[in-house]
Copies of this chain bind each other. A is one copy, B any other.
Amino acid sequence: MASTIFTQIPFQSKSLNKISNTHFVPSFKLPVSLSYNPRTALPKSLRVRAGLIEPDGGKLVDLHVAEPERELKKREAASLPRVKLTEIDVQWVHVLSEGWASPLTGFMRESELLQTLHFNSLRLDDGSFVNMSVPIVLAIDDSQKESVTESNSVALVDSDDKLIAILTDIEIYKHPKEERIARTWGTTAPGLPYVEETIKNSGNWLIGGDLEVIELIKYNDGLDRFRLSPMDLRREFERRNADAVFAFQLRNPVHNGHALLMTDTRRRLLEMGYKNPILLLHPLGGYTKADDVPLSWRMKQHEKVLEDGVLDPETTVVSIFPSPMHYAGPTEVQWHAKARINAGANFYIVGRDPAGMGHPVEKRDLYDADHGKKVLSMAPGLERLNILPFRVAAYDKTQGKMAFFDPSRAQDFLFISGTKMRTLAKNKENPPAGFMCPGGWQVLVEYYDSLTPSEDGKIPEPVPA
């Protein structure tokens, strides 16, 4: 998947007809005795209707300290033991503070980590489940553990010792690194980007608790205006009178294949009877691996795509999803979908091999390309979300544009690989007309132009779609 540009479009409306008030299930085989029947599986109270979907747990979590108490909390924090956060830890504080992980109220305690690792879900007081597939945990080392064990709260500070938050009612427990990696990625092979970056050299202990975040987290990179919280997004969707919100998670440049998919999805939602479906174009803004196109360049490219009118600004909201990237395939796509429920999305577009990557050691993709959408369609706690799988589109030479791939005339289609795209952009050549809007392409040309080859003379490879 990593080496081919493609985009996909929803299955035939025959299947899509089921979507309007149920959880869409792709047509892979389920034995009768255990077949997933969304109509029976979905409690009436949760049926998706016009208006915004309820956040997980019924209430959107907001972990920010209210202005009046802020000074008090700062003084309180001054007397607490300190735990230093990495950049990625701060990204998770950001994610938690705005309620993307509702109903989580802070870094996971052991009972939440165990439920996440074994069940990809958390059980609520009423016995219902919310989805939670990715561990959101904070690691500390032995000396940090020593320094905090006497206290019930700790102050969380960034690399400049700036106070970020207070973690209260703390629980410290063993960091089961190998088990965490195996159950999250389905492999322990060396070279998993997030593992190398955040787990391998992290502490042997995890500290869970409830977060009190002192100030809104800003990155001052000129993109903070795009970082809308789930509450901001819900207000925006309401302002626009959206009766359906369909989310498109991406971490790569948008080409016309994606645009085709998104506009076609809106058309289908209108066909289904929705009056005003709004697209949440939601690039991931947290940690990504070195060969992904950086957020700043992606945002420039997305802006051009909107300027060039490929997508309609009237019915599109572009915002940044602050989560770091795990590249954990079927496990992570659940997190990507669940977080968008909290932001008000009731439709989620899922592609081939979501959150996937090549196996770090073996010559194959890490995950089966179809497992992501299958797991997503069966995941506990996501019954209320309508899953929109899509099939491959490619460049149709006969039409001179991106179109749904038609196997019966395969020879008419051109799959433009990442290598091919990089080579074109690097040589300042143009792709086939209609592959990407000129403004967006120009941004990519500038990006690759800006890259200085690394020691081994290799330039990072973009991984579109």
Contacts and interface: CB of A to CB of B under 8 A. Distances in A.
Contacts of A124: 34
B188 A375 contact: no
A123 B375 contact: no
* This chain's copy number in the assembly: 2
A390 to B, nearest CB: 20
A6 to B, nearest CB: 21
Given A103-B34, A118-B331, A187-B178, A41 B378 contact: no
Contact of A383 (B103, B127, B178, B331): B127
A33 B103 contact: yes
A375 B118 contact: yes
Given A122-B34, A125-B37, A174-B368, A111 B379 contact: no
B187 A31 contact: no
A121 B118 CA distance: 10
A328 B368 CA distance: 24
Interface residues of A, number: 63
Nearest to A176: B368
A21 to B, nearest CB: 15
A289 interface: no
B330 A125 contact: no
Nearest to A208: B31
* Most chain B CB within a 10 A radius of its CB, from A37, A106, A169, A378: A378
Given A29-B171, A123-B34, A179 B188 contact: no
A182 interface: yes
Interface string A103-147: 111100111101101111111111101000100000000000000
Given A29-B111, A33-B103, A34-B122, 6 more contacts: A31-B210, A41-B126, A114-B374, A118-B120, A118-B330, A187-B188
Interface of A: 28-31, 33-37, 40-43, 57, 103-106, 109-112, 114-115, 117-127, 129, 133, 169, 171, 174, 176, 178-179, 182-183, 185-189, 208, 210, 330-331, 367-368, 371, 374-375, 378-380, 383
18 contacts: A28-B111, A30-B109, A31-B112, A33-B105, A34-B111, A34-B112, A37-B125, A40-B125, A41-B123, A41-B125, A42-B127, A114-B375, A118-B133, A118-B330, A176-B186, A178-B189, A179-B187, A182-B186
